[in-house]
Amino acid sequence: MIKIRGLKKRFGTNEVLKGIDLDVKKGEVLSVIGASGSGKSTLLYCINGLEPIQDGYIEVDDTRVHDRNTNVNLLRQKLGMVFQQWNSFPHLTALENVALAPRIVRKKSKREAQEIAKKQLSHVGLGDKLDAYPNSLSGGQQQRLAIARALAMEPEYMLFDEATSALDPELVGEVLDTMRLLADEGMTMICVTHEMGFAKDVSDRVAYFHQGILEEVGPPSQIFGNPTSEHTKKFLSKTR
Amino acid sequence: MEQVFFTGLQWSDAWFLVEAAQKSLWISVLSISVGTVLGIIFGWVLHEGRWIAAGTLGTVLDAFRSIPLIIQLVLFFNFFPIIGFPLDPFQAGTIVLALYTSALVANVARGGIESVGEPMQRAARSLGMSYWQNLRHVVWPIGLRSVLPSWIGVVLGVVKDSALVSVLGYVELLRASQILITRTQEPFAILAIVGVFYFLISFPIGRIGKRLEGKWSS
């Protein structure tokens, strides 16, 4: 379980997260929606320990992410992350992209790491692209490669930071399908997204962020059907 | 009997030049290797840049880059005997060339590190890689590929600049050619031959670089 309490995050004097309380249970799929600059992406970076925080805390399975004694490299193995930009390693084939971290971080043998990589690449539908270099793959394929790369660490949570925002419209579907697949398999997921259809259909709960505040959180039926907050109503009326 | 000052080129002169070419090659290889390793470390420090050291180091490296090499060589060669460590021309030449190379490589290396970009490194770290694993397995190979052409440029420059070590009296190619020219009074032929030697040293380096680039870009 991910437990967030009183989380505050500033960039300089600009406070982007103004005291967030949020729980994400095992097996849950949470979609995080909101306007650009509402702090939703920053939240993911904080959960992963990629950004320091100024106040409050984040616990992942009772381990405090920002505690000085926490081995954040070890913790991140539990937290797979997929970014807006897929960031494939350009000098490695698809197979090597996925096998690298299992080999050097989890100290698997080369063969074992490649077995894991093959499995995860087939999982995301890239079983026929093992030897392809990223520059010969489409954006959607590279993003699925990034998902496979994160899955190869056998994480317990997956964090998606606007995973489809940088993609051409016709490539969005294949990535969303892969995310749906993971959700169906019971993966715990936090998805920062602008895809309202995905948020509505796939998530167990939806969180709406407004100017650094968690304005409203609840099941999709509530957020999309009967939002209590004026800000939420306004935001959703604009996105439809 | 008339004394002979000038004699024509002989076969033994060819060996003299080959030996000199070996010396040119050796001092280049040595100073480029040491200079590259130092330069990568310096480049990393410049990139990390948090410490006051980065400011100081940057200035020192700028000095090495901007002061003409010939002045550095003469200064250095004459400075060490003063503080009680006389160096022979080869040692002094190698040290100065290595430092000069390191100053050039430092900026290339920093450019290489910075070409990799924050998002890529975050992706690597998010997979649980440590700072050093990210540096070794992601930043290094990607950065190396992007700056290889610049590094080859530095190497070719240093090979040619190694000729300046001749001012210290180290008998490398240029110095050897001057000796032969004085004796034979045939500057055209000798300089042409020496030019060919430099070409033979540099040409393969450029070709290897091109081949690597080609291999990596495919």
How large is the C-alpha radius of gyration of chain B? 21
Arithmetic mean of pLDDT, A27-35: 94
The answer to whether B128 contacts chain A (CB < 8 Å) is yes
Distance of CA A107 to the CA centre of its chain: 24
Assess whether pLDDT exceeds 80 at residue B54.
no
> Above 0.85 for ipTM, yes or no?
yes
Chains A, B: CB contacts under 8 A, how many? Answer: 57
Domain residue spans in chain B? 11-217
Assess whether pLDDT exceeds 80 at residue A94.
yes
- Better pLDDT: A115 or B58: A115
Each residue of A154-209: pLDDT tens digit?
999 999 999 999 999 999 999 999 999 999 999 999 999 999 999 999 999 999 99
- Which residues are registered as beta bridge partners of A191? A31, A160
**What tokens were used for A223?**
């957020």
Arithmetic mean of pLDDT, B60-89: 90
Q: Which pTM was predicted?
A: 0.86
- For chain B, give the mean pLDDT: 90
Q: How far is CA A3 from CA A58, A150, B104, B200, in A?
A: 6, 22, 50, 66
The CATH superfamily assigned to B11-217 is MetI-like (1.10.3720.10)
Query: If you write DSSP's letter for every residue of A189-236 in order, what string do you get?
Result: EEEE-S-HHHHHHH-SEEEEEETTEEEEEE-HIIIIIS---HHHHHHH
B98 and B155 in contact (C-beta within 8 Å)? no
CA distance B121 to chain A (A): 9
Range of the domain at A20: 2-239
pLDDT of residue A54: 95
Which positions in chain B touch A85 (Cβ < 8 Å)?
119
Angle at B38 between CA B35 and CA B39, to 5 degrees: 80
pLDDT > 70 fraction of chain B, expressed in percent and rounded? 96
The answer to whether A85 contacts chain B (CB < 8 Å) is yes
Assess whether pLDDT exceeds 70 at residue B3.
no
CATH of the domain at A139: 3.40.50.300
CA distance B50 to chain A (A): 17
Each residue of B158-201: pLDDT tens digit?
999 999 999 998 988 999 999 999 988 889 999 999 999 999 99
Which positions in chain A touch B145 (Cβ < 8 Å)?
91
Among chain A residues, the shortest Cα distance to B144 is held by: A91
Which positions in chain A touch B142 (Cβ < 8 Å)?
89-91
Q: Are strands A213-218 and A205-210 parallel, antiparallel or unpaired?
A: antiparallel
pLDDT of residue B214: 87
pLDDT > 90 fraction of chain B, expressed in percent and rounded? 71
Which positions in chain A touch B132 (Cβ < 8 Å)?
none
Assess whether pLDDT exceeds 60 at residue B4.
no
Arithmetic mean of pLDDT, B9-25: 88
Reference B95, options B133, B69, B120, B67; nearest CA is B69
Using CB atoms, pick whichever of B128, B142, B145 lies closest to residue A153.
Answer: B128
